[in-house]
Every structure is written in C-alpha cells, then in structure tokens.
A and B are shown apart, each in its own frame.
Chain A
Amino acid sequence: MARGFLKNIFTDKIMLLMVLPGTLWFLFFSYLPMFGTVIAFKEYRFSRDGFWASIVNSKWVGLDNFKFLFTTNDAYVITRNTLLYNAAFIVLGLILSVVMAIVLSEIVNKKLAKLYQTGMFLPYFLSWVVVGYFAFSFLSSERGMLNQVLDYFGAESVQWYSEKKYWPFILIFVYLWKAVGYNSVVYLAAIMGIDKSLYEAAMIDGASKFQQIRNITLPLLNPIITIMTLLAIGKIFYADFGLFYQVPRNSGTLYGVTNVIDTYVYQGLKTTGEIGMTTAAGLYQSVVGFVLVITSNYIVRRYNRDSALF
C-alpha cells in the first residue's frame, strides 16, 4: 500500500517535470502580462531599478487612463472599425468559404478539385509582409497594375495609398483572398463526412443536384457553420494586426478607416509612448473579448455540447 503511494508521488513528479517548461512559459508570457495590466490604473513611470520598481513606484490614478481614452474620438473610431471590419469578414468569409467548399466537393474530376484547393490554400502560407508587397504591385500609384488599367481605359489614376474611400473594400478583398481557401478546408472536410446514401436516396426521389445541396448539404453543415461563426464572434474584438498594418503600409492619411484597436495599441506603445492609456486600451480589448468568448461559447454549448470550446 505504502509503496503504491510513494510510486504515485514519483509518477506525479515525472509528470510535473513534464509540464514544468510549459508552465514557466505560461507564467512569463501569459500570466505576468495579465498581472502587468495594473499599469492601466497607474501613471506609468519607467524606473532604473528594474521592472518591479517601475510598476510599484508608478502612481495609482484609478480610472483616469480609461476616462482619457474614452473622451478622445479615437476610442470610438477604433472600436467601430474593429467591429465593422470583423463583421464584414465573418459574413462574407462564411458565405464565400461555404460556397467554395460546396463547389470543390461537387466537381467531378477530383484531381482538378485537389489542384484548385492547393491554389486557394496558398495565401494562408504567406506572411502579411509579403501580402503587403503583393498589394503594392497592384496599388502603387506610379507603377501599379490598377492605375495602368485605369490609364488604358482613359480614366484618372488614383492615389490609392492616400484615398480613404477605397480602403474598406481593399481590406475586405485582401482578407477574403487570404482566408477563404483556408476556411473552406474545414467545411470541405465536413461535407466529405456526409453519408453518401442520403444523396442516393434523394436521387431516387428525383431531387435535382441543387435541391440536394439545399436540403442535404446545407442543413448538415449547419452545426459547424453555427459553431465557426460563434467562435469568430467571440474574437470580434481582436483585429488582425498584420492586415491593418502591412497592407495600408501604415499610411497616416488612411488611419480613419484602417486604424483598429490592435494597430492603435501598437502605435501607442511604439510612437506616442502613452503607456498608461495604451495599456487601458489593451485591457478594454481583453475584457470585452473575454466576455464575448464566454458568451459565444455558452451559446455554442446550449446549441451543441460537443462543439463548445469548454
């Protein structure tokens, strides 16, 4: 008996040793920064005596940073941009990804379908820096392809990188270009998992291909669509920094339509140096994001226990 108990402790020791590196990493890179959000309630002063001294010696200012953040117009603009862009990404991305998955699954020649999928999947493997270059080759005002096309048709050239009104469309287009191939993978896998005999039965009943898609494929995709969408809504407060920073080339004139919470926080850290207020903006994002994830997961659970995150 006693030996068994000792053995247990020993086993746990080995297991604890196994989780040790990861645990230390989480402590330093996840939990300490969480603790670091107290800076949002302080007037941050960097001190030479190191990290703890900087935090402890900074004066408490309560909610001043938040007050300051929300009295500026910035808070409204970045929240609006983040939410609207993400909403557009979720809706359009969903429609296109599902359509693409159905199209790929129905193509008769499977080798060709595989080839198309490989092509669509490519953008997922490219970094935003490279995508920024790609965009530039089309949008560059002197040399870009778009202006050449406009020129050819006798239209005016456009200074793409200083004209606000086009950017919502450009950003949504680039997002879809990069994400649809990747997202359709999930839906395609779900379609492949559908029982073929359902389609055969429908055929015998005389259902056309499109009736089959409407009455079999889509209803059976419904659960995964709902879940993916709810999970995306859970992340709606987080923008893809790379897209909004690299593709518009950090152009100041475009900030009104390209600035999102993530780029705002980055600029606050690197250029304006408003540490307290920037941390407040980050904390605001984290807290709202947390509430959204919990809520959306709760709804997923109600809907389908197995697909919830937790």
Chain B
Amino acid sequence: MSSVVRKKRDFHQLSKPWNVIFNLIAGIFAFLCVFPFLFVVIISLTDEGTLARDGYSLIPAKWSLGAYRYVFESGDMLLRSYGVTIFVTVLGTIISLLFISLYAYAISRKSFRYRNFFAFFAFFTMLFNGGLVPTYIIVTQFLGLKDTVWALIMPLAVNAFYIMILRTFYITSVPDAIVESGKIDGAGEFRIFLKLVLPLSLPGLATIALFSTLGYWNDWFNALLYIDDPNLVPLQSMLMRIETSMQFIMQNSQNSSLSLEAFRSMPQDTSRMAMVVLATGPIIFAYPFFQRYFIQGLTIGAVKE
C-alpha cells in the first residue's frame, strides 16, 4: 500500500524498466533514420585517396575538405542548379498558394451557387487520372512546355488534396459572421477575402505553403520527363545526372583548364556526396522549425465538413 502512496500523482506512467526499453526502441529507430545522412556527411569529408583505398568508412583515416573545395571551384553548375531550384520553389509556391487558396475559398462559401460542382470537379481528379503518357503528350505537344521552366512549375501547382485540406480549414477557422460583417460594412468579395479571411487562415496557408515548398524543392520527376537543357536542371535532377557520370561536370564546367589529367584526379565520389549534403542541407536545417505545421496538415487532412 505504502508504495502506492509514494507514487507520483500521475497514474498514466510507465514503469522504469519499460520506460528504458521504450526509450531504446524509439531512440534506435530515430537514430537509424538520421544515421544515413550523417554517414553521407562523413563520406563527403573523407580524403578521396583514402576512400579509394578503404571504401566508405565511419571513421576515415584522413579527413579532407577537398570535395567541398572542388564543388565550389567548379561550382557554377551547382550554383545554377541552386538558382533553378530556388526560382522554381519560390515562384511555384506563390502560384500554388494563389490558385489553391482562391479555389478552396470559393468552394468553402455557402453563398457560391456552383460550389458543389467545383468541389466535385477538383475532387474527381483524386479518383481518376489519365496516367503518365497522355499527361506527357499534353504537356509537351499541346502546351509546349518542354525545356521551359514552366514544365517544372505547372504540373505541381494544384493538388486537389490540398484544396480539400484548405477548404476544411476555411470552414472551421473563418466564422460566417465575419464575412457577413464585412458585407455589412460594404466590402467587396475580394476585399473580404484579402482583409478578413486571409489573416484568419494564415496557419492553414502556411501549412499548404510548406507542403508545396517541400514538393518543389524535392521534385526531380518533372525534370526527368521534360528537361534536357542543362541550364534548367534543378538540384535533385542534377544529383541524378552526376550519379551516372562526372562528365556532366566536365561539359558544364566553365573552367577550361580542366584537362583529362585533372579529370582523373577529380574527387569524384566525395564531391558527389558533398553535393548531396549541399542539396539536402537547407531542408535538414529548416524542417525542425516547421515540423509543427506539417503535423497539423497531416492531421487536419482527416477532418471533413
């Protein structure tokens, strides 16, 4: 009995040994999830000669910043890819947010007479799609987007699922009374949307913006389909290309003093891993701050009107 009294008031608690075991289970899995990234960072900091001798190791015999030096010196390709990715991500997220927030707002308003039609119009695309080949033919032959930056932006711009999430968000976080009060004060629909609705739904918009940003940053599929022009290659796609050949670097390097001999002594493996680190770095640093919004978006998706 006395042990019960001494216990903390919190009934809902695990016993010590089980708590240790649970910590181990979660901790080990979390470590496994982060470990490959750490491993790639270590590889990128390994001396190329050591790597050729020992293979990829956790504690390299010789550390070196050669890979990063090399990447930055022949770096106009990396810079250009970064530029393409940043441009596509920023513009894409803006367009995405504009299209999605307007559409979702309209179908969330009960006063909009055709809301059910447009809601279904968006929703049906979640159930059925034409598949890859017709989409490819439309984008390349009908819209003529091959080898343009729009081929990287438009295919990802709208997503019916995000529209549904945002519509739920508007309905739950913007009371009708607010819209009515705006009307009484004589504000037009657009003004109500801008001045009253948007400020109230900022968390929802932030969630969609983050989903969209992540989607654009990590996209390589559209580049694989539609981009041949080396000047339009985004980061992820560039990583795919150098995976098969370092010649891509050779062809695109402005540094003409790169002779064949220099090519042989290039820090091939390490510099590829350095590029992987540089391409994922921003995400690794940014995501712990935005995790909250992602979790919110994932859990709100399950709620309906």
Contact = CB atoms under 8 A, between A and B. Distances in A.
Contacts of A107: 14, 19, 22-23, 26
Nearest to B22: A103
A260 interface: no
B134 A33 contact: yes
Given A23-B121, A130-B280, A132-B243, A306 B128 contact: no
B111 interface: yes
Question: Contact size class for B?
Answer: 35 or more
Interface string A271-287: 00001001100110110
Nearest to B131: A282
Contacts of B106: 15-16, 18-19
Interface in B213-266: 214, 217-221, 225, 236-237, 239-240, 243
B25 A103 contact: yes
A283 B280 contact: no
Given A19-B106, A269-B133, A14 B190 contact: yes
Given A30-B129, A282-B133, A130 B30 contact: no
Interface string A297-310: 00000000011011
Given A15-B106, A121-B291, A29 B155 contact: yes
B56 A144 contact: yes
Interface stretch (B62-70, B86-94, B112-120): B112-120
A119 B31 CA distance: 7
Nearest to B31: A119
B304 interface: yes
Interface string B33-50: 110110110010000000
A180 B32 CA distance: 12
Nearest to B190: A14
Q: Which of A125, A143, A285, A310 has the most CB of B within 10 A?
A: A125
A95 interface: no
A159 interface: no
Contact of A19 (B26, B107, B283): B107
A129 B14 contact: no
B133 A242 contact: no
Interface string B76-115: 0000000000000000000000111011011101011111
Nearest to B135: A33
Interface of A, secondary structure class, is: helix
A288 B18 CA distance: 46
A41 to B, nearest CB: 12
Interface in A1-56: 8, 11-12, 14-16, 18-19, 21-23, 25-26, 28-37, 39, 46, 50-51, 54
Contacts of B188: 14
Q: Which of A103, A109, A117, A242 has the most CB of B within 10 A?
A: A103
A186 B137 contact: no
B156 to A, nearest CB: 10
B11 A265 contact: no
Contacts of A121: 33, 287, 291, 294
Contacts of B178: none
Contacts of A241: 221
Nearest to A39: B134
Contacts of B139: 29
Contacts of B2: none
A143 B40 CA distance: 13
A130 B239 contact: yes
Interface string B195-215: 000000000000000000010
Contact of B122 (A26, A103, A268): A26
A104 B14 CA distance: 12
Contacts of A246: 240
Q: Which of A29, A185, A242, A289 has the most CB of B within 10 A?
A: A29
A185 B284 CA distance: 19
Interface of B: 11-15, 18-19, 22-23, 25-27, 29-34, 36-37, 39-40, 43, 51, 55-58, 98-100, 102-103, 105-107, 109, 111-115, 118, 121-123, 125-139, 141-143, 154-155, 157-158, 160, 163, 188-190, 193, 214, 217-221, 225, 236-237, 239-240, 243, 269, 272-273, 276, 279-280, 283-284, 287-288, 291, 294-295, 298-299, 302, 304
Given A19-B102, A125-B287, A137-B43, 15 more contacts: A16-B106, A22-B103, A26-B125, A26-B160, A36-B130, A39-B134, A103-B26, A108-B13, A120-B30, A130-B280, A132-B243, A133-B239, A134-B40, A145-B55, A286-B128
| Complex A-B, nearest 9 residue pairs according to Cβ-Cβ distance, in ascending order | A282-B131, A36-B134, A33-B130, A119-B30, A22-B103, A127-B218, A143-B55, A134-B36, A51-B142
Interface of A: 8, 11-12, 14-16, 18-19, 21-23, 25-26, 28-37, 39, 46, 50-51, 54, 99-100, 103-104, 106-109, 112-113, 115-123, 125-130, 132-134, 137-138, 140, 142-145, 147-148, 177, 180-182, 185-186, 189, 196, 199-200, 203-204, 209, 224, 227, 241-242, 246, 249, 262, 265-266, 268-270, 275, 278-279, 282-283, 285-286, 289-290, 293-294, 306-307, 309-310
